[in-house]
Each structure stands twice: as structure tokens, then as C-alpha cells.
Amino acid sequence: MIGDTVVDLPPIIDPPPPIPRGVTHWHGDATGSWWAIVPGRAGPRLVEAASRDALAVTVDWHLRTAAL
């Protein structure tokens, strides 16, 4: 799928939206990355981000895309 990588996301300018309840997310001690399991039309998706704020934006983007 094209257009859903961290590089494709705009820079974070405003405070990120909260990660919704029910979306499992965590910080990986071994990877140093933030992770979440996001529901989608094709099933759950594992997403990764460099920071908690970036993860919140990424989760929000995936949820909005799945709603289209």
C-alpha cells in the first residue's frame, strides 16, 4: 500500500489527538519505538512510530483512512 508510511505523514504541528480507548498501544523496550494495533476494514494493523505523539497522529490517520 502506498501513502501510509511515516514519511508520507505531515509534520506534527498541533497537539496530537488522544489515542482512542480500545486501541492497544505500547512502547517497545527492545525497539525503542511506539506501537499500536489499529482496527481497519481489512483487519487489525500493527503500526510503528518514533514517538508517542507521532503514534497518536499515525493512529488517527489510520482510523480516518479506514472510515473512508
* Domain presence at residue 15: no
Residue 12 lies in a domain: no
User: In total, how many domains does the chain have?
Assistant: 1
* 3-state DSSP helix/strand/coil % of the chain, to nearest 5: 30, 20, 55
Q: Could you tell me the pTM of the whole model?
A: 0.77
pLDDT tens digit sequence for 11-67 = 667 788 999 999 999 999 999 999 999 998 889 999 999 999 999 999 999 999 887
Q: Is residue 58 part of a domain?
A: yes
Reading phi first (left if > 0) and then psi (alpha if -120 to 50, else beta), residue 3 is in: left
Domain span including residue 56: 23-67
Do the domain assignments include residue 3?
A: no
Residue 36 lies in a domain: yes
Give the pLDDT confidence score for residue 40 in this predicted structure: 87
